[in-house]
């Protein structure tokens, strides 16, 4: 956490993509590309007092550091055009704009869903880690999204997430 300063935004990928998948073997080929597309995230550090904490997301930040999917919820473009003063993230494809200080809320453009947020914590060595998978589907909007989100919510409830 100490490596980031207020206003910094960095792109990141899960370490598991390169150190092994579910079976422990490194991902390769198509599996690696799919993992990268779904696992691309951005970390941003803000003043904690400027963050609007959503219900059930009280412990999702570490020292003002938040993590969001880098995939726009409109059509799936990768985004990272950061407006530090407004806390807005802009998608270059169709100008959907998300407020990262307010739970990734859409503030402009054609996207209808906020950016999925990843809950963060610290491991025993003090490194930032994801505390779970994304609780929301990381993908552009599509006709079956509500059905698939319901299935994901049911799975998360069974798993205790």
Residues 59, 36: Cα–Cα separation, whole Å: 26
For 16-67, give the DSSP string: HHHH--TTSSPP-HHHHHHHHHHH-EEEEE--GGG--PPTT-TT--BTTEEE
The answer to whether the pTM exceeds 0.85 is no
| Length of the chain, in residues | 161
User: Is residue 69's pLDDT more than 80?
Assistant: yes
Are 57 and 74 contacting, i.e. CB atoms less than 8 angstroms apart? no
Give the model's confidence band at 28: pLDDT under 50 very low, under 70 low, under 90 confident, else very high: confident
The mean of the pLDDT values for the chain is 87
Q: Which domains does the chain have, with CATH numbers?
A: 9-159 (2.102.10.10)
Give the model's confidence band at 3: pLDDT under 50 very low, under 70 low, under 90 confident, else very high: confident
The dihedral over CA atoms of 156, 23, 14, 148, expressed in degrees to the nearest 10, equals -30
Over residues 32-48, the pLDDT tens digits come to: 666 666 678 999 999 99
Report for 52-61, 99-108, 133-142: range of highest mean pLDDT: 99-108
Q: What per-residue confidence (pLDDT) applies to 19?
A: 64
Q: What per-residue confidence (pLDDT) applies to 12?
A: 85
Q: What per-residue confidence (pLDDT) applies to 18?
A: 62
Mean pLDDT of the region 97-124: 96
Question: 60 vs 16, 97, 128, CA distance in Å?
Answer: 20, 21, 11
Residues 44, 41: Cα–Cα separation, whole Å: 10
């Amino acid at each position: 956490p100490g490596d980031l300063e207020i206003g910094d935004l960095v792109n990141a990928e899960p370490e598991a993509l390169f150190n092994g998948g579910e079976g422990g073997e490194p991902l390769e080929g198509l599996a690696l590309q799919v993992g990268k597309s779904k696992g691309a995230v951005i970390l941003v550090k803000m003043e904690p007092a400027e963050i609007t904490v959503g219900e059930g997301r009280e412990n999702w930040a570490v020292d003002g550091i938040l993590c969001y999917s880098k995939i726009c919820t409109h059509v799936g473009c990768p985004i990272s055009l950061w407006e530090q003063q407004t806390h807005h993230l802009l998608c270059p494809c169709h100008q959907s704009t998300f407020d990262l200080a307010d739970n990734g809320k859409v503030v402009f453009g054609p996207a209808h869903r906020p950016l999925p947020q990843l809950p963060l914590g610290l491991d025993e060595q003090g490194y930032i880690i994801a505390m779970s998978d994304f609780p929301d589907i990381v993908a552009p909007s599509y006709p079956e999204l509500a059905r698939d989100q319901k299935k994901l919510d049911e799975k998360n409830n069974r798993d205790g997430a």
